[in-house]
């Protein structure tokens, strides 16, 4: 094996001849003394609590944090009423998922006040009209969901599901967590 030099084909090394002194000598001696109990325990502890560089510590903490967040998300999202709400929102088209991109466009339009003076007023009115339309869409979504929840899970309280549904409704479909299981228009 050539780690730092060129690899040359080597002829097999001749085996050393055994002499009578080598046969009767017994096992070879160690080149170091047996470690004391204190040294052995220190070496064992060092393997258990290894020293990390700051970069390794951040990476390890980040991975641990990510797995903990995903575990908490999965336990929180595993409730059947939340799964029904997710499927209900994902099955319908909502104008709320375009809220954030449209607000960015409206904000960009408001910076053009030097070009056309009243554009700031028009952009502000458009923003409020769009937000009102999203809230109205959320109201109709909530009314429809309460009927579906009463049919499928009559004993379940809808407490907390309105904000959960509204939050999911205004997220861009591609970035929703957990990811949508059904397509628009499919039965849920």
Q: What is the pLDDT of residues 50-65, one digit of tens each?
A: 778 889 889 999 999 9
In the chain, the N- to C-terminal Cα span, in Å, equals 63
Residue 158 has pLDDT above 80, yes or no: yes
Average pLDDT of span 33-54? 82
Beta carbons within 10 angstroms of residue 131's beta carbon: 14
Residue 150 has pLDDT above 90, yes or no: yes
Q: Is the pLDDT of residue 133 over 70?
A: yes
Q: Is the pTM of this model over 0.75?
A: no
Share of the chain above pLDDT 90, in %: 44
Taking the CA atoms of 157, 160, 164 and 165 in sequence, report the sign of the dihedral they define.
Answer: positive
User: Cα 150 to chain center, whole Å?
Assistant: 33
pLDDT confidence of residue 12: 56
**Mean pLDDT over the full length of the chain:** 84
CA distance 178 to 168: 10
Which pLDDT value is given to residue 95? 93
Distance CA 79, CA 84 (A): 9
pLDDT (mean) for 118-133: 90
Region 21-25 average pLDDT: 55
In the chain, where are the structural domains located?
54-175
What's the pLDDT score for residue 16? 56
Torsion of CA 36, 37, 43, 48, to 10 degrees: 180
Q: Is pLDDT of 20 > 60?
A: no
Residue 177 has pLDDT above 70, yes or no: yes
Task: Evaluate if residue 82 carries a pLDDT over 70.
Answer: yes
CA distance 106 to 91: 28
Q: Give residue 23's pLDDT.
A: 55
Q: Mean pLDDT highest for which of 27-31, 37-41, 54-58, 62-66?
A: 62-66
């Amino acid at each position: 094996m050539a780690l730092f030099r060129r690899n040359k084909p080597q002829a097999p090394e001749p085996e050393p001849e055994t002499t009578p002194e080598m046969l009767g000598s017994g096992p070879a001696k160690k080149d170091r003394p047996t470690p004391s109990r204190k040294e052995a325990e220190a070496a064992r502890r060092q393997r258990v609590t290894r020293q990390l560089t700051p970069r390794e510590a951040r990476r390890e903490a980040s991975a641990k944090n990510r797995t903990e967040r995903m575990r908490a998300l999965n336990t929180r999202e595993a409730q059947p009423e939340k799964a029904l709400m997710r499927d209900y929102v994902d099955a319908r088209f909502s104008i709320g998922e375009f809220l954030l991109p449209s607000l960015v466009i409206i904000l960009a339009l408001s910076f053009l006040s030097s070009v056309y003076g009243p554009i700031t007023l028009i952009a502000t009115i458009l923003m409020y009209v769009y937000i009102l339309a999203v809230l109205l869409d959320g109201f109709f979504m909530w009314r429809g969901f309460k009927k579906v929840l009463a049919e499928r899970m009559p004993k379940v309280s809808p407490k907390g599901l309105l904000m959960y549904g509204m939050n999911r409704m205004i997220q861009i479909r591609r970035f929703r967590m957990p990811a949508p299981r059904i397509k628009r228009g499919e039965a849920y």
